[in-house]
Amino acid sequence: MNELLRWGVPGLILAGPLHLLLGCCGMAPFWAVSLVAALPLGCVLHQSVRWRFEARDNGFRSPQRAALDVIIERGNLGRRPDRGDLAYQVYETVFYQRPEWQAIRDHAHRCHDHRFLNQSTALACALGTLLSLLALGTRPGAALLYLLALPVAGFILGAKSRQTFEALELFDRALVLSHWPLYEAALQTITGTGPTVGADRTQSS
């Protein structure tokens, strides 16, 4: 149910300007239909944001991810073509095998959910702004209201999404640095190698 509600938020934001534009073209459905359509619209927006993250940025396996960068550097994985996948495997092994980290996992998952929700809602605001511009000539009053509200809301939500991501990156990096022996042991188990050079570095580096 929570997923459905989250998907509905960006869909509702986009449904208004879309309904307005369709009304200008003489094709506006009943408002009830537009409200029902908000859920699939929101789902498409949400999935497009996730697809962009997974496809273009390599998702959680990106070597540029702060936590994985630490594992790659300390584990001397920089020359491996699969360094991102291997570092992610090490990260996941430690992150999910410790029962006492349940609160940490829940917090990280919530942060990612909020990030994607803010991104998809900001995208809805951007698309809604474009649709409002197209409807400005025939429905200037309602279109102007959308044009005043949506760009500001989209900017704020986009900034919030970036701040959440940056804070989560710092948190992930600190988690790996402060528990490096656990990650090093997982790396040795997965690769079948001995201690890495990174084990000799200080925790504060």
- Average pLDDT (157-183) is 94
**Which amino acid makes up residue 10?**
P
Residue 64: the pLDDT is 87
**Domain span holding position 23:** 2-198
What integer pLDDT is reported at residue 195 of this predicted model? 58
Q: In the predicted model, what is the mean pLDDT of residues 29-46?
A: 77
More confidently predicted of 33 and 77: 77
Is the pLDDT reported for residue 45 higher than 80?
yes
Residue 199, pLDDT score: 45
Mean of the pLDDT values across residues 183-201? 72
**What are the helix (H) ranges across 135-179?**
140-178
Domain assignment of residue 97, yes or no: yes
pLDDT at residue 92 is higher than 90 = yes
Among the ranges given (21-30, 64-73, 93-102), the one the predictor scored with the smallest mean pLDDT: 21-30
Average pLDDT over residues 142-165: 94
pLDDT for the residue 194? 61
Q: Is residue 89 part of a domain?
A: yes
Res. 110: pLDDT tops 50: yes
Long-range contacts of 70-75 (CB under 8 A, 24+ apart): 70/173, 70/176, 70/177, 70/180, 71/176, 71/183, 71/187, 73/198, 74/180, 74/183, 74/184, 74/196, 74/197, 74/198, 74/199, 74/201, 75/183, 75/184, 75/187, 75/196, 75/198
Domain assignment present for 203: no
DSSP annotation of 64 reads: T
pLDDT at 175 over 80: yes
pLDDT computed for residue 32 by the predictor: 67
Average pLDDT over residues 116-131: 94
200 token code pair: 């000799």
Asked, for residue 204, whether it belongs to a domain, the answer is no
Q: pLDDT at residue 205 above 50?
A: no
Question: Is 186 within the bounds of a domain?
Answer: yes
How many structural domains comprise the chain?
1
Q: 90 pLDDT band (50/70/90 cuts)?
A: very high
In a domain, 162, yes or no: yes
**Looking at the predicted structure, is the pLDDT value of residue 81 above 80?**
yes
Residue 197 is predicted with a pLDDT of 47
> Could you tell me if residue 95 is inside a domain?
yes
Domain-located, residue 105:
yes
| pLDDT computed for residue 31 by the predictor | 65
pLDDT at residue 204 in the model: 42
Residue 201: what pLDDT? 45
